[in-house]
Chains A and B, each alone.
Chain A
Amino acid sequence: MAASMKCAWARCLSTILLNSTKHRCQISQPLYASCSNISGDSGEGGTDQTRQEAGPADDTKKHRRDPGKAFTDVRVQKILLRLTGLDLDKVYEYRAAKGAGVAKVALMSDQQLKKVYESASYKALRKLQMPPVLGAREPIDEVLSEDPELEGLNTSKLVFIDISQRVPLKKRTIVVREPNGTLRKASWEERDVTLQKYFPQSGRKIGLPRMFQQDNLECMLDDGKHEYILNRACSQFEIDDPEYIRVTQRTYEHIDGNGKFEDLRSTRHFGPMIFYFTYYKKIDKLLVAFLEEESLEDSLDLVKLYHIVHPSCKSAEKVASMPDATPLEIIRAFAEMDATQKSLVQQAIQTYEKECDSTGSTQLRR
C-alpha cells in the first residue's frame, strides 16, 4: 500500500511539472535529429497532422523494424513520462561514482526550500530523458570504387578517417581500402571502433565489453542489476545498434519474467521498457502489476498507450465507439479483446474491484 502511495505522489509531481508553463514536454531535438531512422517528424506540439502521420499500422513488416516513429509521437511521450513518475529520492540517490560530491547542508527558510525543490525537480526531469527506442540500423554496403589492379599492394586493409573539425560523428567519412583493391565505406562496427579511437567518448570501450556477452549478461540479470546494465548499454552503444537492442530487450524480458517492473520506476529506462512491451504486444504482466498495486491511472494509461501504438486493434475500435466509458470498462475491453493472457488480466481486474469495494472507493484516485 505504501508503495502505491509513493507511486501516486511521484505521478502527481511529474504531472504538475509537465503541465506547468515552465516545462514543455519537448522531445530532445538534437538527440532525435541524430537518429537517422526517424523521418523528418519533429514530434513537437500535438497538431492533427502529426497525429495522422505518426502511429504505426498493425502487422506491417516496415513498422516492426522501425518503432521510432511511434515512440516519438507526442501522445506516447506524455503517457510514458507520466508513467515513469518522478521520485526525487530515487533520482538523486547517491551513486558511488567519479564526481559524486559530498552532500551540502544548508539552513533555509520555507520559501527558499520550496525554490530549491522546484529547481531540483526540473533538473530531475532532464535526468529522466528517455533514450529513444529505434529499429536496428540498416547495414552500410556502399562500394565507392573497384580497382582489381591494386591486388597485392597491401596484405592489410587501409582505413581512412576524416578528422576535420566540427563534423558530427554520424557524418564523419570513414572508408576502407581492401587488399583486393576495393574502396568501400566502413561498416557500422568498423565506424564505431574507429570513431572511439579518434574521438573517444567517456564510458565507452573499444569492442564489446565482456559484460554484454550472453553468459555474463545472464549472470548480471540474475543478480538484479537491470538499471546498471541499461545505463551501461546506453553509454556503450548507439541506440540503433543491434547489440544495444539485443541487450535492452533481453533485460526487459528478464524483468517481465520476474515481475520486477518497479526497479526501473522513476528512471529513464521505464518509458522505453513500457514502450517495448506495448509495441510488441506483451503488456499483460505489466498491466497485472499495475492493477495489483491498485493504480488505476497507470493501468488506464497503459491501455491508452496500447490503443495509440496499435490504433487498429479491436479494443481500440470498441473504446472509440464508447466515449463515456469508465476506466475499468476500457481496461476490461482490452482484457476481453486484445490480451494474450486473458484469464490472468481478468482475474487481476476482479481482484482490484474486490479491493476497491472493500475500501469503499471505486472512483479514479487523483
Chain B
Amino acid sequence: MALAIRFALFGCTNRPFFHIVVMEKRRAQRSGKIKEMIGSYDPMPNQDNQKLVAVDFQKLQKWLGFGAVPTKHVAELLGLGGFYPIHPMSYIKAKRKRKLMEKQPADMQAKEETQETAAIQVNEDTQPDSTEDASQ
C-alpha cells in the first residue's frame, strides 16, 4: 500500500474543508485510519478574501523521509506555498482560466473554482484513477 500525503475531506454539504493527512492512498478518507494529521486547507475564502492553509512542515518532512508521496493536489498547493517548485498543472490551469476570462465574464471564474474543489473531492475518494495507476 502506498503511503500518501493527501487531502481528507471533512466539513458538510456546500461547505468543504480539507485536512492534510498522512494515510494510505487508497483508503476512504473518513475511515478513521489516518496515520497523522499535518495540516488543513480551507478552500472557501474568508472575509479578507484569503484561503487559509496550515502545514506542519516538520512533520511533512519527516513523513516524506518515510517515503510518503503527496498527491497531485497537495503537491500543487505546496508548490503555491513555496515548499515545492510550482506544479506544471498550476501553470496549465492558470493559462486555461485566463483564456476563459477573455471570452467569459468574471463570475464564471468563481464557477471554475467550485469545480476545482469538486475535482479534489473526486480524486481523494477510493475510486481508482487510471492515470495514477500508470504512474505507480
B58 lies within 8 A of A165 (CB)? yes
* Partner-contacting stretch, out of B10-18, B63-71, B90-98, B127-135: B90-98
Interface residues of B in 36-88 (CB under 8 A from A): 39, 45, 48-59, 77, 80-82, 86
Residue of A nearest to B45 (CB): A156
Interface residue? A213 (CB, 8 A):
no
- Please tell me if B115 contacts chain A, counting CB pairs below 8 Å: no
Q: Flag if B54 contacts A163 (CB, 8 Å).
A: yes
Category for how many chain A residues contact B: 20 to 34
Cβ–Cβ contact B50 & A150, under 8 A = no
Q: Shortest beta-carbon distance, A208 to chain B, in Å?
A: 13
Question: How far is it, in angstroms, between the C-alpha of A82 and the C-alpha of B47 when the chains are bound?
Answer: 48
Q: Give chain B's interface residue range (CB within 8 Å of chain A).
A: 20 to 34
B82 lies within 8 A of A162 (CB) = no
Stretch at the interface among A86-94, A141-149, A215-223, A291-299: A141-149
**8 Å CB contacts to B: which residues of A156-203?**
156-165, 173, 175-177, 181, 183, 193-194, 197-198
Pairwise interchain contact A154-B113, C-beta atoms closer than 8 A: yes
Residue B122 CB within 8 A of the other chain:
no
Q: Is B101 engaged at the interface, CB distance under 8 Å to the other chain? A: yes
Contact of B51 among A151, A154, A197 (CB under 8 A): A154
Asked if B109 is at the interface of the complex by the 8 Å CB criterion, the answer is yes
- State whether the Cβ of B1 lies closer than 8 Å to any Cβ in chain A: no
List of A residues within 8 angstroms of B93 by Cβ = 153
Q: Judge whether A155 and B109 touch: CB under 8 Å.
A: yes
A177 in complex: contacting residue of B49, B81, B109, CB < 8 Å: B81
Kindly state whether residue A46 has any CB partner on chain B within 8 Å: no
Q: Residue-by-residue, is A117-156 near B (CB-CB < 8 Å gives 1, otherwise 0)? A: 0000000000000000000000000001101011111111
Whether A158 contacts B50 by the Cβ 8 Å rule is yes
Residues of A contacting B109 with CB < 8 Å? 152, 155
> If A153-B97, A156-B49 touch, does A175 touch B56 (CB 8 Å cutoff)?
no
- What residues on A are CB-neighbors of B51 within 8 Å? 154, 156-159
> Across the two chains, which residue of chain B brings its CB closest to A181?
B94
Pick from B53, B94, B110: contact of A149, CB under 8 Å: B94
Contacts of A194 in B (CB 8 A): 52
Residue from A151, A156, A160, A197 having most chain B Cβ neighbours under 10 A = A160
Bound complex: CA A147 to CA B85 (Å): 11
- B residues less than 8 Å from A160 (CB atoms): 53-55, 80-82
**B91 contacts across to A, CB distance below 8 A:** 149-150
In Å, the complex CA distance between A197 and B91 comes to 31
Q: Which residue of A lies closest to B49 (CB)?
A: A156
Cross-chain contact A152 with B94 (CB below 8 angstroms):
yes
- Min C-beta distance of B112 to chain A, whole Å: 9
Give chain A residues whose Cβ lies under 8 Å from the Cβ of B45.
Answer: 155-156
15 A–B contacts from the bound complex (CB under 8 Å) = A145-B82, A150-B94, A152-B95, A153-B93, A155-B113, A156-B45, A157-B49, A157-B51, A158-B77, A159-B51, A162-B56, A164-B58, A165-B56, A177-B82, A181-B94
Q: A157-B51, A159-B50 are in contact. List 13 more A-B contacts (CB 8 A).
A: A149-B94, A150-B91, A151-B98, A152-B94, A154-B51, A163-B39, A175-B81, A175-B82, A176-B50, A177-B82, A183-B81, A193-B48, A198-B54
